[in-house]
Structure 1
Amino acid sequence: MALLRRRRVSLVTRQLLRLVLLHTAWEVGSGQVRYSVPEESKHGTFVGRLAQDLELEVAELVSRMFRMVSNSRRDYFEVNLQTGVLFVNSRIDREELCGQSPLCAIDLEVIVDKPLRIFHVEVEIQDINDNAPVFLVQAQNLVISESRLLGSRFPLEGASDADIGTNSLLTYKLSLNNYFTLDVQVKNYHSTLAELVLKKPLDREEIPEHRLLFTATDGGKPELTGTVQLVITVLDANDNAPVFNQSVYEVSLLENAGHGTLVITLNATDLDEGINKDISYSFSDLLPFSVRKLFSIDADTGEIRLKGEVDYEVKTLYEIRVEARDKSPFPLAGHCNVLVEILDINDNAPELTITSHSLPVPEDAPPGTVVSLISVSDRDSGDNGKVTCSIPPNLPFQLVSTFKNYHSLVLAEAVDRERVSEYKILVTAGDEGTPSLSASSSILVPIADVNDNAPAFPQPVYRVFMKENNPPGAHLFTLSASDPDLRENAFVSYSVVERSVGEQPLSSYISVHSESGHIYALQPFDYEELEVLQFQVSARDAGFPSLCGNVTVQLFVLDENDNAPAVSPAGSGRGSPGPELVPLSAGAGHVVGKIRAVDADSGYNAWLRYEVQEPRAAGPFRVGVYSGEISTTRALEEADGPSQRLVILVKDHGEPALSATATVSLSLVESPQAVKWDSRQRGGSEGPLVDMNVSLMIAICSVSGLFVLVIVVYVGLRCHPGPEVMCGPGKATVACSSEVASWSYSQRQSRNLCVGEGTAKNDLMVFSPNSSGNVGIEKPQQELTLKSSAAVSHMTESLFGNVFML
């Protein structure tokens, strides 16, 4: 008995030391917060002040969307959001939850938003002594021959206790009797063998049957007990029982072993002879059915073979009680235990569970933002159960191990929705077994748009051409800006950047439709007042904050022939003037006067042509086609009459052409006199001529230099065509190829020359500058067109004719 007590103390000491070591290892590897609670605790039992221990404000639990995720199938715990206290929500049965595992804990994931944070909480379920030892049967029947020697041993079927630790540490005792004692041997951590020892010879004639009470007591407080009745039948005769060469056999078996695999071959011997020596092997009658359906034994050879499928994840150890019985009419039996340890193989792939998402991810989310929580598990053990988690490379995400088999999918670098709108991430979990098994799961991570792109126009400057005298509300042009963002961030509205045009605001000239980008003219344009209107249009999106982009629009007003030529007055007063005096001595080519006319238009529309309205009535006079000079065609004669009346028609080159007329009266006299002439037009007036020699010299030099310059430029442009060029200081008046496809030289203080690409004609049109009232007699633009050698002759005649006239 002293030896039994020492063995019990040694067993208890080893178990306690093992529990302490396991508990210490668990404590080191636990999460941020750890609690413990006894099993079978009632609903509402206080577990811990979770919010306080996690350093969370209780008032913020609801606003930060406090939630708790458990790895168990039931919600055993709940948190009071008003106090932050963790309490028991439902009954916890440790044996149902963890079975015989020495450590039993429920992992909780506490998640809060704004910002997203994750806390790991472990709640240890403490075992209480709520299960009494249980025997498989109510009575154990033993048959013992009266010839058995003193000290013979008879193994007894022990009890089982669903608790763990000291609560499952069983001690046995036998009711008082004179024939038997109890011997308990601890074979190893998994097996305790209780044997009935014969201490006094049996006499069947005296007592044919013995009834004893076999009691098992656990180590809990308070102690719980279980009992079974031992019914011992005393037999006569055969006094040698079969004996195994060892009482406990330990074998290992892979969990993938096939049907018929040999587990072990048992061998028992019997010292008797004859039929008393022949042995038959069988399983103990007390062997559970769950073990019988997995293993079979050959009665003659003692071979134990596998006939079912064993799974390490279901059970790791099987204890088989084998009986060897001789074939005597009064058989004796020997017993042994076979411990079959199931070895794990890598037959379970890892399992992936995605427990939480923070989707979609804004494209301006900073690196480190948690996207999803991933938990992995593997039912295998050892290296077969060690799992590594990975995602494909070259993605802006990474996996961060947070707690045990928990990983966080976080943003590793900035993302751009306009480049990639969503990511399909394949998460792969692989174990370290041989061969390795893996599992994968896809996570679709959409990227949410933010307003990070301003509207943009396809080009920075638009050039729009519009004829003057357009109707109010005429459509000029349509602008379109693009924004790669989504929804309101990509909704573009247009507006004009307000400025002043002269004394009027820009909004009085044009307007832009805010949604379509159509540009409309609010009033008719007049080329003579405004040739180029430059303004900016802004495109703004509807994001917050909104972004905008600008574009410059240059509106070129094209001239139309809407101004008729106007003849400059030559006399004083109104009404019909007196005749102009022409000396009879004038020879052919004598200039007697000049018609001066102006046209407010430009280009061809301002290019004037002079001709006599009735050529037959002109007599010995003619008018210069482009100079307007009236000269004689021959020497004058008395037969020409005392006076002549010429009607001069001044016509521009517009389409349709506009014209004006002037009436000139000429009187032939004997002596030369100062020439006076009239210019008559409907509603016209008269003015005196002023002669200035200094102005004459300036005009001669200017016209000659201008002529040479035009010829040089023309030849250079013909030889070296180039792209459109803007040049010149001051207020730039841009002259480009227009509908008449000519090169124009504008009459302004800043003179710019533009060469248009792809013109249909090779014309060069030059407008002479305005002359003051004291220098010249032509105020409007005078045009000279060079189309051929004939055009050059006309231009020479016009230029030098004006000079000589001056």
Structure 2
Amino acid sequence: MEVIASDKGPNSLTGQCKLTIQVADMNDNHPEISIKSFQSPIKENIELDTVIAVVSVSDKDSGDNGVVDLHIPDNMPFKLRESSDNYYELVVSEPLDRERVPEYDITFTVTDRGSPPLSDNETMTLELLDVNDNVPQFPQSFYTIRVEENNAPGALLSSPTAFDPDLHENQYLVYFILEREIANTSMSMLFSINPENGNLYALKTFDYEIEKEFLFHIEARDSGSPPLSSNVTVHIIIVDQNDNAPVIVSPWRAHGSVVEEKIPRSTDKGSLVSKVIALDTDSVHNSRITYQFLQVTDATLFSLDQYNGEIRTMRMFSYRDPRHQRLVVVAKDNGQPALSATVTIKLSTVETAVKAYSDMTEVPLEYDIFSDLNLYLVIGLGSVSFLLLITILVTIVIKCQKPKPSKAAPPCRNSVISERNSSIADSTLVSNDAYWYSMFLAETRKGKMVVRQPVPKGSRYIVSSLPRGTGLTDTSGSAASTLQASTSST
């Protein structure tokens, strides 16, 4: 710029100079952002380093006041890449997941380098499109479902529902029972599942005694393209109910529920009378059986083990106890409510033969073992023994009174000399003393008297048989009753 100065004289004089004025820039203009392109929405499975936006920036100031910088927040899966002066590209730097972050609000901030710096920003929303990249998910990998037996057909058992975090058709699930045969029976004949909500139903009534459990798989499949699916294992456990009453298998009953048993009246205390055995086809808990008396003729005479069903005597029978006892035993299971079965045992006591003396000495007899009949038998045996003892004593006395031999006895007297261990049928003549007593009794019962005389040498005996009442000197009539034999001399 030139400056001219002149005076006011007639010959005015002038002067000039060149003046340069420099205007210093002030940072009085804000930088500007221009979104040239922005792609939204984008698929969540977009590839890395893909450009989704182009942004330009400018500033009217000069110098450092016109130098600008563009940036976005650090916590985003994107980055800015400078393509040319004041042009930037927004690219994907990390994988995107719509199920985790469905959309992003991206704020572009431009700042100049003035002092103080000025800035400007603009926010754009980036929406992610769903892709069928998630399989259906069950809350648990194994389902245990307990079903009580005798269930009603069509009853709802459970709802093993799956979840898919995708959207729309990618989230719509259909449920199936994977076919599997058990004992030539398909699972679709036993169970049914609602394909829309996964509700599981029973198609038949189950019986624990026949079918105790089932194991199969349920599949959940989405409607995406391509469809994704997952399955879960289902374990159906049939729970037992107390629907079976105990069955008494011992003692065996031919007709009805009455059993007749016999037991010796001399049975000892603690002896096993009978054993009741009952079976229950229910499960372990419901099949536990206990036994007890429902009726008993004499509660002091029998005991019943509540766990094994053994009936034993608590004492010995006495003559006061009835010969017939009636025991009613009930077998009860452990169910709720409890079921039971009964058996009636008619017990009859019978008399047994009297034991030998050696056996009687081993076991002491109690007072009440004697009945009226036994008492009479003991008295009779005692009387016979007493009479036998008297007879023995009389015989000994007669034996000791030996008659003197008569010199007037005729030589025709019938006599025999018996050898040792010899015998004759009529008078049973023997030569040793051990048999003398029996021979004496035999001859005495026949109405005869027997006289024994030793031979001088003492090795043999002379035995004579005479009719009873005949004197030693009387020989008449003896020939008819004596045994004819030749006399042997020593």
| TM superposition score category, shorter chain reference | 0.5 to 0.7
CA displacement at 1:649 relative to structure 2: 2.1
Equivalent residue, structure 1, for 2:391? none
Aligned AA (2:203)? L
Structure with larger RCO (C-alpha < 8 A, sep 6+): 2
1:322-721 pair list within 5 angstroms: 345-380=26-61, 384-433=65-114, 435-568=116-249, 570-571=251-252, 579-616=260-297, 620-637=301-318, 640-671=321-352
The residue matched to 1:367 in structure 2 has which SS? coil
CA contact 1:612–1:618 (8 Å) conserved in 2: no
Q: TM-score, normalised by structure 2?
A: 0.62
- In the TM superposition, 1:248-267 aligns within 5 A as 249=1, 266-267=3-4
Hey, what does 1:269 align to over in structure 2?
6
- How far 1:337 moved relative to its partner? 11
- Whether contact under 8 Å (2:220, 2:230) holds in the other structure is yes
Residue deviations 1:291-332 (CA, integer Å, cap 9, x gap)? xxxxxxxxxxxxxxxxxxxxxxxxxxxxxxxxxxxxxxxxxx
Whether the 8 Å CA contact 1:525–1:557 is kept in 2: the answer is yes
- Note the alpha carbon deviations across 1:370-394, whole angstroms, 9 max, x for none: 2112222334456554443222223
- Larger Rg: 1 or 2? 2
Which residue identity does 1:269 align to in structure 2? Answer: S
CA distance in 1, matches of 2:203, 2:225: 32
Q: 2 CA distance for matches of 1:385 and 1:623?
A: 111
Question: What is the alpha-carbon distance in structure 1 between the residues aligned to residue 274 and residue 250 of structure 2?
Answer: 13
Describe the SS at the equivalent of 1:355.
Answer: strand
Whole-angstrom distance in 1 between the partners of 2:180 and 2:205: 19
1:575 and 1:658, CA in 2 relative to 1: closer, same or farther beyond 3 A?
closer
Give a deviation string over 1:141-194, Cα, whole Å, max 9, x none. xxxxxxxxxxxxxxxxxxxxxxxxxxxxxxxxxxxxxxxxxxxxxxxxxxxxxx
| Alpha-carbon distance in 2 for matches of 1:350, 1:367 | 30
| Aligned residue type for 1:599 | D
User: Deviation per CA, 1:225-283, whole angstroms, max 9, x where unpaired?
Assistant: xxxxxxxxxxxxxxxxxxxxxxxx36xxxxxxxxxxxxxxx32336x735x7499xxxx
| Distance in structure 1 (CA, Å) of the matches to 2:149 and 2:76 | 59
Gaps of 5+ in 2: 354-490
| Cα offset, 1:597, TM superposition | 1.3
Specify the code of the residue in structure 1 equivalent to 2:272: V
Q: Distance in 2 between matches of 1:615 and 1:579?
A: 15
Alpha carbons 2:303, 2:311 under 8 Å: kept: yes
Quickly say closer, same or farther: Cα 1:347–1:664, change in 2 above 3 A. same
Pick closer, same or farther for the CA change 1:418–1:552 going to 2, 3 Å.
same
Deviations 1:594-619 (A, max 9, x none): 22210011234212222333224778
CA distance in 2, matches of 1:662, 1:578: 7
Identity of aligned residues (%): 42
CA distance in 2: counterparts of 1:446 and 1:577, whole angstroms: 87
| CA displacement 1:18-37 (0-9 Å, x = unmatched) | xxxxxxxxxxxxxxxxxxxx
Aligned equivalents of 1:538, 1:569: Cα separation in 2:
52
**CA spacing shift, 1:575–1:466, aligned 2, 3 Å:** closer
Structure 1 residues 384, 617: CA separation in 2 closer, same or farther (over 3 Å shift)? same
2:383 maps to what in 1? none
SS in 2 for 1:540: strand
Shift of 1:442: 0.9
Aligned residues: 353
Q: Secondary structure at the match of 2:286?
A: helix
Instruction: Give the letter aligned to residue 388 of structure 1.
Output: D
Helix, strand or coil for the counterpart of 1:613? strand
Match of 1:678 in 2: none
Please tell me the residue identity of whatever aligns with 2:316. Answer: A
Output the aligned Cα RMSD: 3.5
Distance 2:145 2:46 in 1: 43
- Measured at CA, do residues 394 and 571 of structure 1 come closer, stay the same or move farther in structure 2, by a change above 3 Å? closer
- Structure 1 residue 343 displacement after superposition: 6.8
Give the conservation status (yes or no) of the 8 Å contact 1:423–1:444: yes
Pairwise CA distance, 1:457 = 3.1
Compared CA separation, residues 335 and 507, structure 1 to 2 (3 A): same
Q: Deviations over 1:181-223 (max 9, x none)?
A: xxxxxxxxxxxxxxxxxxxxxxxxxxxxxxxxxxxxxxxxxxx
Contact 1:618–1:646 (8 Å) recurs in 2: no
Give the letter aligned to residue 528 of structure 1: E
Letter in 1 for 2:9: E
Taking structure 1 as reference, are residues 378 and 361 closer, same or farther at Cα in structure 2, changes over 3 Å only? same
Report the TM-score when normalising by structure 1: 0.39
Residues 47-66 of structure 1: matches in 2 within 5 Å?
A: none
Say if 1:268 and 1:509 are closer, same or farther in 2 by CA, change over 3 A: same
> Is the 2:251–2:275 contact (alpha carbons within 8 Å) kept by the matching residues of 1?
no
Query: Which residue identity does 2:122 align to in structure 1?
Result: S
My pick for the range that moved more, 537-546 or 411-420, is: 537-546
In structure 1, distance between residues paired with 2:90 and 2:4? 59
Gaps of at least 5 residues in structure 1 are 1-248, 251-265, 280-333, 673-806
C-alpha distance in 1, partners of 2:64/2:303?
119
C-alpha distance in 2 between matches for 1:408 and 1:532 = 63
SS at match of 1:605: coil
